[in-house]
Amino acid sequence: MATSSELHFVLVPLAAQGHIIPMVDVARLIAACGPRVTIVTTPVNAARNRATVDGARTAGLPLDLVELPLSGPRHGLPEGMEAVDQVIGHEPAMYIKFLSAIWDLAGPLEEYIRALPRRPVCLVADASSPWTAPVCARLGIPRLVMHFPSAYFQLAVHCLTAHGVHDRVDEMEPFEVPGFPVRAVGCKATVRGFFQYPGLEKEHQDALDAEATADGLLFNTFRGIEGTFLDAYAAALGKTTWAVGPTCASSSMVDDADSKAGRGKPADVDTGHIVSWLDARQQASVLYVSFGSITQLTAKQLAELARGLEASGRPFVWAIKEAKTDAAVRALLDDEGFEARVKDRGLLVRGWAPQVTILSHPAVGGFLTHCGWNGTLEALSLGVPALTWPTIADQFCSEMLLVDVLGVGVRSGVKIPAMYVPKEGEGVQVTSGDVEKAIAELMGDEPEAAARRTKAKEIAAEARAAMVEGGSSHSDLTDLISYVSELSRKRGHENSTALPSAAAEL
The reply on whether position 319 binds ligand UDP by CB under 6 A is yes
Of how many residues is the chain composed?
506
> What is the pattern of x (binds ligand UDP, CB under 6 A) and - over residues 357-396?
---------------xxxx--x------------------
Number of H-type helices and E-type strands within the chain: 24, 15
| Residue with smaller CB distance to ligand UDP, 65 or 393 | 393
Q: Going by DSSP bridges, is the β-strand pair 185-186/175-176 parallel, antiparallel, or unpaired?
A: antiparallel
Task: Give the one residue of 7, 8, 10, 18 binding ligand UDP; rule: CB under 6 A.
Answer: 18
Q: Which residues pair with 8 in a beta bridge?
A: 36
Task: Give the one residue of 129, 150, 196, 355 binding ligand UDP; rule: CB under 6 A.
Answer: 355
**Dihedral, CA of residue 322, residue 326, residue 331 and residue 332, to nearest 10:** -40
Smallest separation, CB 12 to ligand UDP (Å): 17
Smallest separation, CB 121 to ligand UDP (Å): 28
| Residue with smaller CB distance to ligand UDP, 10 or 21 | 21
Task: Give the one residue of 352, 367, 396, 483 binding ligand UDP; rule: CB under 6 A.
Answer: 352
> What is the pattern of x (binds ligand UDP, CB under 6 A) and - over residues 437-476?
----------------------------------------
Residue 60 DSSP one-character state = T
Smallest separation, CB 376 to ligand UDP (Å): 7
Residue 329: what are its φ and ψ, rounded to 5°? -70, -40
CB 177 within 8 A of CB 160: yes
| Residue with smaller CB distance to ligand UDP, 83 or 306 | 83
Q: Is 19 a catalytic residue?
A: yes
The reply on whether position 320 binds ligand UDP by CB under 6 A is no
3-state secondary structure of 409: strand
Closest to 392 in 3D by CA, of 422, 413, 415, 408 = 415
The reply on whether position 108 binds ligand UDP by CB under 6 A is no
> What is the pattern of x (binds ligand UDP, CB under 6 A) and - over residues 285-314?
-----x-xxxx-------------------
- Residue count at the site for ligand UDP (CB under 6 A)? 20
Cβ-based neighbour number of residue 59 at 10 Å: 15
Name residues whose C-beta falls within 8 Å of residue 176's C-beta, 6 or more positions apart in sequence.
183, 184, 185
288 exposure class (CB count in 10 Å sphere: 0-12, 13-18, 19+): buried
Closest to 451 in 3D by CA, of 442, 464, 460 = 442
Residue 173: what are its φ and ψ, rounded to 5°? -70, 120
> What is the pattern of x (binds ligand UDP, CB under 6 A) and - over residues 239-278?
------------------------xx--------------
Residue type, 130: P
The reply on whether position 316 binds ligand UDP by CB under 6 A is no
Q: 309 vs 277, 328, 368, 403, CA distance in Å? A: 18, 18, 11, 21
Q: Is 167 a catalytic residue?
A: no
Smallest separation, CB 156 to ligand UDP (Å): 17
Q: Which of 8, 19, 147, 361 is catalytic?
A: 19
Q: Which of 25, 85, 104, 126 is catalytic?
A: 126
Q: Show which residues are catalytic.
A: 19, 126
Q: Which positions lie near ligand UDP, rule CB under 6 A?
A: 17-18, 21, 263-264, 290, 292-295, 319, 352-353, 355-356, 372-375, 378
